[in-house]
Amino acid sequence: MTTMLSAENITVTFSGNYAVHDVSLHVDPGSVLCLLGDNGAGKSTLIKVLSGVYQPSSGNLRLDGDVVTFPSPRAAREAGISTVHQYGGTAPLMSVDRNFFIGSELTRRVGPIRFLHRSRMRSEALQAISELGLTRVTNARQLVGTMSGGERQALAIARAVYFGARVLILDEPTSALGVKEAALVLRLIDQVRASGVAVIFITHNAQHAMAIGDRFQVLIGGRTAADFARGEKTRNEVLDLMAGGEEFAALAGDLGGSFGGDA
């Protein structure tokens, strides 16, 4: 299987300090790569490189094997790299269909004037979210603020897939959710993977990662501390690794952070 997106030896510095130090990763179509790590490990910085928000200080990105640069988030989106943040980026006081099509509204022309095509927006939004198993929402006029956290994440994920995401980056999609809601989002990720999308799932939660991941990469102090496939480590080993990372980060902090990633 060909790798869809890869990052090779990415380094990002801020004022001379390494946020990400020589990190490589790859994600294949129809698979989930879990990016694990404590606060400050470099996860957000790395995904900002993948999504065109930051330019790396050094290193390459490849899409379908070709070296690419994303000078802006828009360029990354147009290449099919879509990022969904923790709260889904949805607007609570807007309806489901308006949220779904925000910035890409469907219109129809009547004479010289363009109008929003609300009926089509409603039916297409409902169809897209119900195809991903979100069947509790049956009225696209419903305000997003009345939906649960998991449903809002689901809406944002369905929107990304509808607009052609080939690589879906999910930034802590389950961390603010209860058990049932997290399960809803994990099921949805499974479905998105089955449709051939490459998923990068950023999380602090080893249980959620183990439930869904095909590959796992643990960042500590801006470096890759471990990189393994499903089944290569037990849940306890992953938990130990992450806990070790936290202890190490604290120790590195106490000692001035000078050996941040060499664990």
Ligand X SMILES: Nc1ncnc2c1ncn2[C@@H]1O[C@H](COP(=O)(O)OP(=O)(O)OP(=O)(O)O)[C@@H](O)[C@H]1O
Q: How far is CA 207 from the centre of its chain?
A: 17
- Neighbour tally for 45: CB within 10 Å: 22
Of the pair 94, 239, the CB lying nearest ligand X is at: 239
Least CB distance to ligand X at residue 39 (A): 3
Of the pair 29, 245, the CB lying nearest ligand X is at: 245
Binding test (CB under 6 A) with ligand X, winner from 5, 23, 29, 45: 45
Does 44 contact ligand X by CB under 6 A?
Answer: yes
Binding test (CB under 6 A) with ligand X, winner from 5, 23, 31, 42: 42
d(CA 250, CA 164): 41
Which one of 35-43, 55-63, 64-72, 231-239 is the stretch in contact with ligand X (CB under 6 A)?
35-43
Of the pair 96, 220, the CB lying nearest ligand X is at: 220
* Maximum Cα interatomic distance, the chain, rounded to a whole number of Å: 70
Which residues touch 235 (CB under 8 Å, ≥6 apart)?
206, 207, 210
Binding test (CB under 6 A) with ligand X, winner from 7, 10, 19, 79: 19
Which one of 37-45, 113-121, 140-148, 157-165 is the stretch in contact with ligand X (CB under 6 A)?
37-45
User: Count residues contacting ligand X (CB under 6 A)?
Assistant: 10
**C-alpha distances out from residue 158 to 110, 245, 252, Å:** 30, 33, 40
Least CB distance to ligand X at residue 41 (A): 4
Of the pair 29, 37, the CB lying nearest ligand X is at: 37
Of the pair 39, 258, the CB lying nearest ligand X is at: 39
Give the Cα-Cα-Cα angle 30, 27, 184 (nearest 5 degrees): 50
Does 89 contact ligand X by CB under 6 A?
Answer: no
Indicate the burial class of 180 (C-beta count within 10 angstroms; 0-12, 13-18, 19 or more). exposed
- Neighbour tally for 119: CB within 10 Å: 12
Q: Which of residues 161-200 bind ligand X (CB under 6 A)?
A: none
**Is residue 31 within 8 Å of residue 23, measured between CB atoms?**
no
Does 37 contact ligand X by CB under 6 A?
Answer: yes
Residues of the shown chain interacting with ligand X in the complex, contacts defined by CB under 6 A: 14, 19, 37, 39-45
